[in-house]
């Protein structure tokens, strides 16, 4: 595929509310995970965004929910860039593709609790504006004026990464000229209870690739990015690979055959040899099955011992928002010349055939891969490149 410029991006998660805050925490070595404050009958850690978001402005108030407050915040963080983009392209040629798995379910949970206590839903609760996936599209379109193709991707933990594949296809086929892509998810009781029922939650901070790993921590947040057909940009989307092995509804294929396909297709899409990739931001959930599967898949595709890290020990697993979040963290690594440590990896599981980044690594990196894998064997790998690297 032809490289697609990423002209701007914003990110918000347990490390901070802005790119600068996230970058500073990554450099300081301080995880964003803390003991969960939800009223649960079990213990775990979560990655909550610090502070509170103000309500949406009156003109957008009908859509007010935590998920949309985060989305609004992410849009405001790059307002000059998207306003300029909307001037360069016809509104009908700007697409909006957003990934989420929980949407506004946190607001629905609170509304349901009110109904349990009073017998009626809150008067201001609106299922379609507060809970439904399409609400995030309404918000973005109303704020930016984008009128091109728009839809939500909800494929669990690959949701927001797959929006990059969607945008790339439509740009390549000439159906759009630019796109707003990414995703967001929030913490909610249902997600925490659900993963607890699968025995997938860790009672301590998650420890990807460690021999002592227990499972995942749930996080919240997301990232938005602006893609254009032609632009001067520091970073480019240069390859995307997808697969769906449908091995099991929740467990990954033991050998990671679908993950291998996604990574191989991503390299082919980018017209790159495997040794051209400088590092991988792994899906790295900290569960025994996922880390083992992903390690085998990486080892099968990459013959050289490239650095592999997971950022879920920093932010938690943001589910539908994780893919875009981790793509944004890759861009920060490329831009600022360092790889974050995999928090909690020591002692690394020696049965995993990957070179895990255990301490922050400084250097010049130009090409990155970000992996996202989901329930049902849904897989995607995204390849990114810094502008200093000549495009293949």
**Measured distance CA(306)–CA(357) in Å, rounded:** 10
Catalytic annotation present for 157: yes
**In sequence order, what DSSP letters do the residues of 10-24 get, joined into one string?**
EEEBTTBSSHHHHHH
Q: At what angle do helices 19-28 and 322-336 cross, to 10 degrees?
A: 70
**In sequence order, what DSSP letters do the residues of 354-380 get, joined into one string?**
SEE--S-EES---EEEEEEEEGGGEEE
Facing residues of 185 across strands? Answer: 221
Catalytic residue, from 12, 36, 157, 188: name it: 157
**Measured distance CA(281)–CA(349) in Å, rounded:** 18
Q: Coil, helix or strand for 223?
A: strand
| N residues, the chain | 392
CA angle 153, 263, 373 (to 5 degrees): 40
Catalytic residue, from 131, 236, 283, 386: name it: 283
Backbone angles phi, psi at 244, to 5 degrees: -145, 100
Give the helix/strand (H/E) hosting 71: helix 66-76
CA-based R_g, the chain, Å: 20
Give the helix/strand (H/E) hosting 35: strand 34-35
Q: Coil, helix or strand for 272?
A: coil
Give the helix/strand (H/E) hosting 182: strand 178-185
Quick check: bond before 347 cis, omega within 30?
Answer: yes
Catalytic annotation present for 386: no
Catalytic residue, from 130, 265, 317, 386: name it: 317
**Measured distance CA(191)–CA(3) in Å, rounded:** 36
| Sequence-ordered list of residues with C-beta below 8 angstroms from that of 340, at least 6 positions apart, any chain | 26, 309, 311, 314, 329, 333, 357, 360
Catalytic annotation present for 12: no
Q: Which residues are catalytic?
A: 157, 283, 317
């Amino acid at each position: 595929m032809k490289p697609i410029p990423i002209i701007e991006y914003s990110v918000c998660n347990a490390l901070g509310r802005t790119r600068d805050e996230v970058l500073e925490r990554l450099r300081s070595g301080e995880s964003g995970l803390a003991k969960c404050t939800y009223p649960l009958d079990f213990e775990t850690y979560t990655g909550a965004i610090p502070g509170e978001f103000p309500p949406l402005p009156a003109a957008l108030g009908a859509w007010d929910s935590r998920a949309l407050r985060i989305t609004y915040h992410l849009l405001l963080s790059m307002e000059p860039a998207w306003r300029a983009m909307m001037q360069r392209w016809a509104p009908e040629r700007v697409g909006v593709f957003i990934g989420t798995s929980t949407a506004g379910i946190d607001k629905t949970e609170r509304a349901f609790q009110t109904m349990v206590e009073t017998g009626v839903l809150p008067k201001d609760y609106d299922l379609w504006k507060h809970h439904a996936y399409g609400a995030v599209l309404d918000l973005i379109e109303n704020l930016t004026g984008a009128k091109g193709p728009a839809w939500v991707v909800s494929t669990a933990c690959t949701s927001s990464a797959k929006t990059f594949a969607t945008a790339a296809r439509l740009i390549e086929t000439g159906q759009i000229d630019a796109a707003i892509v990414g995703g967001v998810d929030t913490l909610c009781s249902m997600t925490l209870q659900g993963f607890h029922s699968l025995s997938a939650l860790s009672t301590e901070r998650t420890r990807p690739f460690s021999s002592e790993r227990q499972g995942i921590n749930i996080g919240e947040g997301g990232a938005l990015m602006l893609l254009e057909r032609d632009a001067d940009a520091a970073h480019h989307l240069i390859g995307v690979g997808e697969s769906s092995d449908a091995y099991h509804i929740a467990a990954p294929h033991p050998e990671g055959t679908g993950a291998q396909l996604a990574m191989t297709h991503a390299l082919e899409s980018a017209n790159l040899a495997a040794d051209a990739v400088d590092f991988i931001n792994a899906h790295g959930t900290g569960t025994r099955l996922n880390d083992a599967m992903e390690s085998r898949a990486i080892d099968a595709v990459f013959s050289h011992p490239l650095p592999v890290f997971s950022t879920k020990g920093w932010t938690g697993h943001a589910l539908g928002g994780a893919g875009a979040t981790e793509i944004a963290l890759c861009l920060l690594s490329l831009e600022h010349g360092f790889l974050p440590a995999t928090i909690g990896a020591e002692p690394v599981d020696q049965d995993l055939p990957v070179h895990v980044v255990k301490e922050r690594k400084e250097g010049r990196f130009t090409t990155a891969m970000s992996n996202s894998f989901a329930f049902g064997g849904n897989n995607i790998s995204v390849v990114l490149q810094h502008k200093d690297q000549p495009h293949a």
